[in-house]
Amino acid sequence: MAAARKSLADALRVSFRLLSLIMIVALGWLLSSGLATIQPEERAVRLTFGRIQGEAEERVRGEGLKLGWPKPFGDFARVSTREQTLRIDDLWLYEVGQDTETPISDRETREQGLRPGYDGALMTGDRGLVHVRIVCTFKAGVRQGNPDAEAVIQYLSNVRGFRPADREKPEEDITEELVRSAVCNAAIRAGAARTLDSVYLTARGRFAAEVKELAQQRLNELHSGIYIQDIRIPNATVPLTAIEAFNDVTNARSQWESRINEAKRDALDKLNKAAGAPSWPLLVGQLEARQSIRAAGAASPAGGNPAPGTEADEPNYAKNVQTFRDYAQAVRAGKRADVESLGRKIQGFGLMNLYATARERRDEELAAEILEEINRVLLSNRTGGESAKSINSARSYSAGVRQHARAQAERFTELAGKFAESPEVMLQRYLAQVKSEILTDPKVEKWYLPPGLKLVVRLSSDPDILRRIQRAVLQARKQPPEPTRSR
């Protein structure tokens, strides 16, 4: 009996020790299950019985070792805040293996064109089709570059969920599908308000920015806690069957733009030579403004600018006239700031264009005011180029004519007084002076005959004398006229 009792006691002792060890291990495992290590690019929410614990910012925990209730009473729901990249091919061509290695321009065109269900495409506002590949980078729970507690809660509540199954089955994560849907919807909306050229060629960056804005609006409406960092469109093309024709149009447009730029440079050069940079924009209007007016006219139903005097032209004409009157009043008042400000507005249509329109409308009073202002601009010190040379030359010629006229008048007044005193003396004196001038003039061919000889001789002029006369005439033309001298 004693041996049996001893064996039973030993067995109970060993069982108790083993059970104690198991309980200690279980207790340690239970306590350690409440510990969680949060990585630098993670944020975590502490859960107790499936519910978020804490208030406001305290609900979201940052990096480090965190303690919570042990499982299954508590847990931590983690959110990765690292940047994620999603390539969206929903609006791109369907591609197989060899297509990805072949440039778009070298791919074979399909007779059937687009294949619904395979090829994706975007329809633009001008009824064009374009294929676009979109690359979107986004972060969950990060707003304006910094982790945000509210965004983390929104992402867990409305997108990923708190359940363990949500974290154990990544294939059920709808994050990428949600972003894909928002971006595609935004691209369709943005493309419908743009032209094919702007999406495919000229303004792809602005199109991408608009897609980002619209997609973010949609994600915000869903309280997703997802924030788009960037939208890029690395690839865009028109349908394969239209590439060749579109390239022809693009080349033609490039040539047209090149000729437009060349014409602008030529026009600027001529305008600068004609009147100088400060004056010609005020006289004829800026080239950019004139081109935009022509472009607006080309887009109008009539295919041109409103004709002067028509109802369509009346608002612009009245506005331009009022701008001119304000400008002229500011010039008279010497208000330099107003003159500069209103002058920039006048450069949108030009004084000469307004003058021509006023003449066509038979508004002579307004035309005279504009012409007076045009003359003031031309005669100002700001005008340069050939206009300034012509004006200076005219001024010099005018001053010379006035000076010559004054000298002639003074000479006439002087001679008139002398003639009144002794007419015969004056006549004899000037007759002798005229004879002397004739006889000494190298341009006059002279014959000397004896007095009283009545003889008529027809002679051909001596060639040497004619050459001397011609040289004298040419030399006289090169020399400036001699000033009038009193005799």
* Over residues 33-38, mean pLDDT: 58
Per-residue confidence (pLDDT) for residue 166, from 0 to 100: 44
**Residue 410 CA: distances (Å) to CA of 415, 418, 421:** 9, 13, 17
* Over residues 197-211, mean pLDDT: 89
* Over residues 240-249, mean pLDDT: 80
What residues does 228 pair with on adjacent strands? 138
Q: Is the pLDDT of residue 180 over 80?
A: yes
Percent of the chain beyond pLDDT 90?
A: 15
Q: Note the pLDDT tens digit of each residue in 260-301.
A: 888 888 877 887 777 777 777 888 887 665 554 444 444 444
Per-residue confidence (pLDDT) for residue 311, from 0 to 100: 44
Per-residue confidence (pLDDT) for residue 98, from 0 to 100: 72
Per-residue confidence (pLDDT) for residue 229, from 0 to 100: 94
180 or 394, higher pLDDT: 180
Axis crossing angle, helix 314-333 with helix 336-346, rounded to the nearest 10: 150
Q: Is the pLDDT of residue 251 over 50?
A: yes
Q: Note the pLDDT tens digit of each residue in 433-450.
A: 888 877 777 767 776 667
Per-residue confidence (pLDDT) for residue 143, from 0 to 100: 85
Q: Is the pLDDT of residue 315 over 60?
A: yes
Per-residue confidence (pLDDT) for residue 482, from 0 to 100: 54
Q: Where are the domains of the chain?
A: 81-96+108-238, 276-383
Which residue from 395, 385, 355, 382 is spatially nearest to 371, judged by alpha carbons?
355
Give me the chain's average pLDDT, please.
77
Per-residue confidence (pLDDT) for residue 171, from 0 to 100: 44
Q: Is the pLDDT of residue 105 over 70?
A: no
287 or 129, higher pLDDT: 129
H/E element, 117: none
Q: Cα dihedral sign for 322, 327, 333, 337?
A: positive
pTM: 0.54
Which residue from 348, 345, 346, 363 is spatially nearest to 308, judged by alpha carbons?
363
DSSP string, 273-339: HHH-TTTHHHHH--HHHHHHHHHHHHHSTTSSPPPTTSTTTHHHHHHHHHHHHHHHHHHHHT-HHHH
What residues does 146 pair with on adjacent strands? 143
pLDDT-based confidence at 51, cuts 50/70/90? low
128 or 382, higher pLDDT: 128
Residue with tokens 């005011």: 369
393 or 453, higher pLDDT: 393
Per-residue confidence (pLDDT) for residue 296, from 0 to 100: 42
pLDDT-based confidence at 348, cuts 50/70/90? confident
* Over residues 442-461, mean pLDDT: 66
Write down the architecture of domain 81-96+108-238 according to CATH: 2-Layer Sandwich (3.30)
Per-residue confidence (pLDDT) for residue 227, from 0 to 100: 94
Per-residue confidence (pLDDT) for residue 172, from 0 to 100: 55
Per-residue confidence (pLDDT) for residue 234, from 0 to 100: 92
* Over residues 45-62, mean pLDDT: 64
Q: Is the pLDDT of residue 210 over 90?
A: yes
Cis amide prior to 72 (ω within 30 degrees): yes
Per-residue confidence (pLDDT) for residue 88, from 0 to 100: 94
* Over residues 312-330, mean pLDDT: 83
